[in-house]
């Protein structure tokens, strides 16, 4: 789902309600998966 820019509160709400966060990138482990884990969302990397 592509939403464009969203305030932090909206992103936090989406992350807290997500079943999982898929991090499909070739770069190193970044801050976004850590933020998802802080919301209690499992990360698939």
Residue 25 DSSP symbol = -
Residue scoring higher pLDDT (3 or 22): 22
What is the per-residue pLDDT across 22-34, written as a single tens digit (0 to 9) for each? 988 877 778 889 9
Is pLDDT at 1 greater than 70 in this prediction?
no
pLDDT at residue 44 in the model: 92
pLDDT at residue 5 in the model: 94
| Global pTM value | 0.72
Q: CA–CA separation, 20 vs 26, rounded Å?
A: 19
- Cβ atoms < 10 Å from Cβ of 20: 10
DSSP E strands in the chain: the ranges are 21-22, 43-44
pLDDT at residue 24 in the model: 87
- Cβ atoms < 10 Å from Cβ of 2: 3
């Amino acid at each position: 789902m592509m939403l464009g820019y969203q305030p932090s509160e909206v992103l936090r709400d989406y992350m807290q309600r997500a079943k999982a966060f898929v991090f499909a990138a070739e770069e190193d482990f970044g801050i976004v998966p850590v933020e998802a884990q802080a919301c209690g969302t499992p990360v698939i990397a």
